[in-house]
Amino acid sequence: RAPNDAHRLNFLVAALHAKRKDFARAATFARTAYAAALEVARDRQLDARRRDAVIYGAGEFLADTLLGANRRAESLAVMQEMRALSFSLPSARLYRDATIKLLDNGEPLDAPPLPNLEAAPAAAAPEIKIDEWIDQPRVALSELRGQVVLLDFWATWCGPCRYTIPKLNALHGKYKDRGLVIIGMTNYFGGRGEAREMGHAEELQFLRQFKRQNRIAYGFAIADHEENDYRYGIVSIPTAFLIDRRGRIRFITVGASDIETKALAAMVEKLIQEKP
């Protein structure tokens, strides 16, 4: 209970100082509350949504008090730290919220600064659980070490997802012979977005046809559950996770904006050039 108590108590004291516009003192207690929140988040029994809410709530408040104290550089560092932390959890939810906070403060969209990966190796990306594969041999992420892997969470009924397909096809064409593997991660949705409901067999055939008609060159992975979404903290699609040759998540994109896809392409190039 100690981290929970420290988080709540210091948060309340910081809020009192912030209410009085004493942001310098508020920031001191807010930083302690944030550190305690990170400790709380280490509890593996904690629901992922609750974990992310605890981290972001404390981090956002700390960033705001630092801004109020005219310590912008420190505030931005907290936002970037949350973005970097989202890679190791992993959590697209935390990444999205921290990135929006950063953009709202006038900062450009880029990869967050990461800790020394040799001194403090990042955790391996969670394994994926797949029921059916299309144009991709059944494989575990651990078997793809040595290659750069792009997991694209998407659905046929998602307009923004369809918008990204040509861009992902272009990345596949440019880098497939240099070690890039793109996997289109989707679920059985029962025919959502179509004129009728579908069983698994019919929907699988529909996905095969969709892939052919849209000339999608990379493989699909289909799940009959939401476990992959939960493991990766998916809150909206399209969401993409870029995994380096050592199996570590190095970049996340949420959405289909040209800025996002341009940043993703630049990071793919960077990781392709890295040695295993």
Shared domain check, 199 and 91: no
How is 139-151 classified by DSSP, letter by letter?
--GGGGTTSEEEE
Q: Judge contact between 64 and 31, C-beta under 8 A.
A: no
What is the tens place of the pLDDT at every residue in 86-102? 998 999 999 999 999 99
Shared domain for 59 and 140, answered yes or no, is: no
For residues 100 and 138, state if they share a domain.
no
Report pLDDT for 115: 56
Cα–Cα distance between 239 and 233 in angstroms, integer? Answer: 10
Give 4-44 pLDDT, tens digit per residue.
889 999 999 999 999 999 999 999 999 999 999 999 998 88
Say how many C-beta atoms besides its own lie within 10 A of residue 259's C-beta. Answer: 13
Q: How far is CA 8 from the centre of its chain?
A: 27
Q: Residues 73, 205: one domain?
A: no
Please report whether residue 148 resides in a domain.
Answer: yes
- Shared domain for 138 and 246, answered yes or no, is yes
Q: In this model, does residue 269 exceed pLDDT 70?
A: yes
Same domain, 155 and 221: yes
DSSP category for residue 189: -
Task: Supply the pLDDT for residue 119.
Answer: 43
171-188 tens-digit pLDDT: 999 999 999 999 999 999
Domain span including residue 34:
3-105
3-state secondary structure of 224: coil
Tell whether 116 is covered by a domain: no
Residue type at position 79: M
Q: Peptide bond before 3: cis, by omega within 30 degrees of 0?
A: no
The domain that holds 219 is classified in CATH as: 3.40.30.10
